[in-house]
A and B are shown apart, each in its own frame.
Chain A
Amino acid sequence: ASNDVTFQTKPYKLHKLDDGPNTSVTLNREDALKFYREMQVIRRMESAAGNLYKEKKIRGFCHLYSGQEACAVGMKAAMTDGDAVITAYRCHGWTYMLGSTVTEVLSELTGRISGNVHGKGGSMHMYTKSFYGGNGIVGAQQPLGAGIALAMKYREQKNFCITLYGDGAANQGQLFEATNMAKLWDLPVVFVCENNGFGMGTTAERSSASTDYYTRGDYVPGIWVDGMDVLAVREATRWAKEYCNAGRGPLVFELATYRYHGHSMSDPGTSYRTRDEIQEVRKTRDPITGFKDRIITANLATEEELKNIDKEVRKEVDEALKTATSDGVLPPEALYTDIYHNTEKQVIRGATIDETVVQKYKNTAELLKENK
């Protein structure tokens, strides 16, 4: 279209590839506003989650995605129908991007019925049609993602599976097992290392003999991408999807990004890095601020329009918060549902033999239907 604007990305670094994604990318007004909005929703939603946690309205784990928004938003922008994603425990942003509402994410965190899985998964386990979680065991999602890709290839789909992990999980043996088979069998999978600099409190340099994560697939070609630039991420992902769907096998991505919050809510995130470092990233590399400046300068949007979006986003998250703090929870019978699929009702022992019950409902869907 005539109102497309061209931007330059930081150069990609290529491993075992002769050509790579284009550093010259175009953006139209519609996408500009969309990406800005999506990144703001994630940022705002995660801030709300952080506050809910501090108010003790979220129990258990809570890992925030703030700082990494351009990764999810950029990759989603290049996905088409039937493509899939699987990630580790830092999954709120991805759940939202792949079809869940802010209410469904926040309500899941507070364990309410309106949650993505009605409160049975919590922070680390959310799912949508194209999103396979939300996995709490660091690295286990790597072969799972390759398996999802195997199913795509088996069915001869023109799709690919985005399999995400952090710089911490880049050292899991499973990754090397999965990349080996993915390459042997040319599976349409992109192993994406979101390098946010830290595996919990251990810097990449202290955990990895090589921090060039995009090269660590060895015989699997790799690409380093500026993970703070939503347009670079989108372009690289678009290129990767074409590569995979041409039957050329897997790729490894390294998205260079940053995590503003601690590893989880119990980590202030200041013992292994300085506050100055975080401030410096916020000032110079923030994915939202950087994008905002670019699209205003390029006349794709006005300051006023973006302010309006901010306002809408705030309203959307506030509305979601209301539900997430007031909605009901599943009845106790839900503890005993979803044990087996398509299986007759089971006798389930309670904490003592006296508490033994026959399943009242086989699964949550049945429970919700009958309690409407």
Chain B
Amino acid sequence: SNMTVRDAINQAMDEEIKRDERVYLLGEEVAQYDGAYKVSKGLWKKYGDKRIIDTPITEMGFAGIAVGSAMAGLRPICEFMTWNFSMQAIDQIINSAAKTYYMSAGRVNVPIVFRGPNGAAAGVAAQHSQDFSAWFAHCPGLKVLSPYSAEDAKGLMKSAIRDDNPVVFLENEILYGQSFPVSDEALGEDFLIPIGKAKIEREGDNVTIVSFSKGVELALDAAKKLESAGVSAEVINLRSLRPFDFESIRKSVHKTHRLVTVETGWPFCGIGSEIAAQVMESDVFDQLDAPLLRVTGRPSQQRPRRQGRQKEPQHQVNIADYLLDTIFATRFLSNYWTLAQRTSFTFHSFPSLSPNFF
């Protein structure tokens, strides 16, 4: 059967709230409004005020309250209406949630899930269009998950809620409404996806494309295009950004000898940068037949969509074309390339991953 990402997260929370008396959900508009993006739809009616708590607009305050309650033994799910607003509360996530277990020498653990939509949505301008993956993945003590499909969302959310540590759960607004096929197993109440393990979404032999969240969709599209051109691409869905499964990337590149990273975050110090660094520091470096390529969001601020330009976003096609044109045509088939060619592939020439780019 099929399921949307929205329903998958809703089902995961529903099952875990039912399963464990200590689990509760709090955040802005999560109860009576059914969630700003309807992810918590129906839960308040089912569980009432004690388990599903509407908060005032006060991110630092309610994030701190959630963390305090976790220190005292509850298992809160703390929703940020979007991760953009989590910046008001980032001190509670980093300094209070992530560090307490270490500072207390293991005396006080903080079992909490911070969740909400992350990354660019459609036409919502710079303050609502950013990807915080790299920000949170930077911090020890946090676990950082970034699901792509409905199955990812369900299994990872349940694992996150059952985890005894602070988990940052980065959803994607554009994926919420997307339907995915789900297995019978995934519909079950004990379906868990292990944290810290990547998934090979598609096997291939000639190039490895690594991505997460919405980026996986772009990578899969690109792989399809590459296939029609006779190139077999392997697509890795990271699922978990911290702990990080470099081993899956390592194995894949040993087979394909080419590596492309795709993310919607800014390029500087991004997830792709970290992968590049780990490649340099491992035997993967010697396996590469071409330099690693990062495809990222533009390092510029996003503008809202202009009136009258409401066509479907072109970014998916662009990415695939880009991979085809550059990797396939110039890199894949060439035995060598000049410095001039390499430098022409800076991120400035990338088509934007943003749906609002025009």
Instruction: Count A-B pairs with CB separation below 8 Å.
Output: 151
Rounded to whole angstroms, the CA-CA distance of A134 and B102 in the bound complex is: 13
Contact B56 A340 (CB under 8 A): no
Contact A154 B69 (CB under 8 A): yes
Interface centre among B70, B102, B143 (most CB of A within 10 A): B102
Contact B140 A339 (CB under 8 A): yes
Contact A137 B281 (CB under 8 A): no
B30 within 8 A of A: no
Contacts A117-B104, A120-B105, A340-B101: A150 and B68 contacting too (C-beta < 8 A)? yes
B109 within 8 A of A: yes
Total residues of chain A contacting the partner, CB 8 A: 48
Pairs A–B under 8 Å by Cβ, sample size 12: A117-B104, A121-B103, A125-B103, A127-B104, A132-B68, A134-B103, A143-B67, A151-B74, A152-B72, A181-B61, A339-B101, A364-B105
Rounded to whole angstroms, the CA-CA distance of A309 and B212 in the bound complex is: 65
Rounded to whole angstroms, the CA-CA distance of A341 and B96 in the bound complex is: 15
B230 within 8 A of A: no
A47 within 8 A of B: no
Q: How far is the CB of A99 from chain B (nearest CB, A)?
A: 12
B residues with a Cβ closer than 8 A to A are 24, 50, 53, 55-56, 58, 60-74, 91-92, 95-96, 100-109, 111, 140-141, 143, 163-165, 243, 281-282
Contact A143 B64 (CB under 8 A): yes
Contact B91 A137 (CB under 8 A): yes
A42 within 8 A of B: no
Contacts A84-B72, A150-B65, A340-B165: A363 and B105 contacting too (C-beta < 8 A)? yes
Contact B106 A341 (CB under 8 A): yes
Rounded to whole angstroms, the CA-CA distance of A123 and B56 in the bound complex is: 35
Q: How far is the CB of B355 from chain A (nearest CB, A)?
A: 34
A328 within 8 A of B: no
Name A147's contact: one of B65, B107, B111, B143 (CB within 8 Å). Answer: B65
A145 within 8 A of B: yes
Note all chain A residues with C-beta closer than 8 A to B107: 117, 127
Contacts A154-B50, A181-B58: A120 and B103 contacting too (C-beta < 8 A)? yes
Rounded to whole angstroms, the CA-CA distance of A181 and B72 in the bound complex is: 18
A142 within 8 A of B: yes
Known contacts A133-B103, A146-B64; 6 additional CB pairs below 8 A are: A134-B103, A147-B64, A177-B58, A181-B58, A337-B105, A339-B101
A180 within 8 A of B: yes
Contact A184 B56 (CB under 8 A): yes
Note all chain A residues with C-beta closer than 8 A to B62: 143, 177, 181
Contact A340 B103 (CB under 8 A): no
Rounded to whole angstroms, the CA-CA distance of A145 and B102 in the bound complex is: 20
A357 within 8 A of B: no
A247 within 8 A of B: no
Contact B92 A143 (CB under 8 A): yes
Note all chain A residues with C-beta closer than 8 A to B282: 353
Contact A143 B141 (CB under 8 A): no
Contact B105 A174 (CB under 8 A): no
Name A148's contact: one of B24, B50, B69, B109 (CB within 8 Å). Answer: B69
Task: Name the interface residues of A118-145: CB closer than 8 Å to any CB of B.
Answer: 118, 120-121, 125, 127, 132-137, 140, 142-145
Note all chain A residues with C-beta closer than 8 A to B164: 340-343
Note all chain A residues with C-beta closer than 8 A to B60: 143, 173-174, 177
Q: How far is the CB of B14 from chain A (nearest CB, A)?
A: 19
Contact A181 B101 (CB under 8 A): no
Q: How far is the CB of A216 from chain B (nearest CB, A)?
A: 16
Residue of B nearest to A330 (CB): B105
Rounded to whole angstroms, the CA-CA distance of A353 and B277 in the bound complex is: 10
Question: Would you list the 5 A-B pairs with minimal beta carbon distance, nearest first?
Answer: A147-B68, A143-B64, A177-B61, A363-B106, A144-B68
Contact A140 B101 (CB under 8 A): no
Contact A181 B56 (CB under 8 A): yes
Rounded to whole angstroms, the CA-CA distance of A137 and B60 in the bound complex is: 13
Note all chain A residues with C-beta closer than 8 A to B67: 143-144, 147
Contact B101 A341 (CB under 8 A): yes
A346 within 8 A of B: yes
Contact B106 A338 (CB under 8 A): yes
Name B109's contact: one of A117, A118, A155, A341 (CB within 8 Å). Answer: A341
Q: How far is the CB of B275 from chain A (nearest CB, A)?
A: 14
Contact B281 A353 (CB under 8 A): yes
Residue of A nearest to B53 (CB): A185
Contact B72 A147 (CB under 8 A): yes
Rounded to whole angstroms, the CA-CA distance of A143 and B63 in the bound complex is: 8
Q: How far is the CB of A51 from chain B (nearest CB, A)?
A: 25
Contacts A136-B95, A152-B72, A341-B109: A120 and B61 contacting too (C-beta < 8 A)? no
A288 within 8 A of B: no
Rounded to whole angstroms, the CA-CA distance of A142 and B282 in the bound complex is: 45
Contacts A137-B96, A143-B60: A339 and B141 contacting too (C-beta < 8 A)? yes
Contacts A147-B70, A339-B140, A340-B141: A178 and B103 contacting too (C-beta < 8 A)? no
Rounded to whole angstroms, the CA-CA distance of A338 and B106 in the bound complex is: 5
Contact B165 A341 (CB under 8 A): yes
Residue of B nearest to A356 (CB): B281
Q: How far is the CB of B111 from chain A (nearest CB, A)?
A: 8
Note all chain B residues with C-beta closer than 8 A to A150: 65, 68-69, 74
Contacts A145-B68, A147-B67, A151-B73: A337 and B96 contacting too (C-beta < 8 A)? no
Residue of B nearest to A137 (CB): B95
Task: Name the interface residues of A225-250: CB closer than 8 Å to any CB of B.
Answer: none
Contact A178 B65 (CB under 8 A): yes
Note all chain A residues with C-beta closer than 8 A to B108: 127, 132-133
Contact A154 B104 (CB under 8 A): no
